[in-house]
């Protein structure tokens, strides 16, 4: 997915964060740890879908979940739909 130029271009306009749930790969330092990330995912995003792409807005030490994109089968099959999701939030941010 990230190899698609359309998606890479949109992602370049976001601050991307990768959060591993469960087992964190060797050599990766992450806070919260994998179990804490799992609790965060379940509590904040209310989904077990992986990968999961939430759009969040920082609020001091907290954050506001604006929207999210994830599919139960963990695959994004419609690149144009995913690109429209990303573009919608970029356009929304320009208005604010």
13-70 per-position pLDDT tens digit = 999 988 899 899 999 999 999 999 999 888 888 888 778 889 998 898 889 999 988 7
With contact defined as beta carbons under 8 Å apart, do 68 and 53 qualify?
yes
Kindly report the pTM of this predicted structure: 0.79
* CA 14 – CA 35 distance, rounded (Å): 26
Going from the C-alpha of 26 to that of each of 17, 31, 37, 93, 95, the distances in angstroms are 18, 14, 16, 36, 42
Question: Which secondary-structure segment (H or E) carries 5?
Answer: helix 5-11
Question: What pLDDT shows up at residue 1?
Answer: 52
């Amino acid at each position: 997915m990230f190899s698609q130029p359309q998606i890479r271009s949109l992602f370049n306009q976001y601050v991307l964060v990768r959060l591993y749930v469960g087992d964190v790969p060797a050599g990766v330092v992450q806070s919260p740890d994998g179990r804490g990330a799992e609790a965060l995912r379940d509590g904040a995003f209310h989904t077990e879908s992986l990968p999961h792409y939430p759009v969040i807005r920082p609020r001091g030490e907290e954050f506001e979940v604006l929207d999210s994109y994830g599919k139960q089968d963990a695959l994004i099959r419609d690149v144009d739909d995913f690109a429209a999701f990303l573009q919608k939030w970029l356009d929304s941010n320009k208005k604010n």
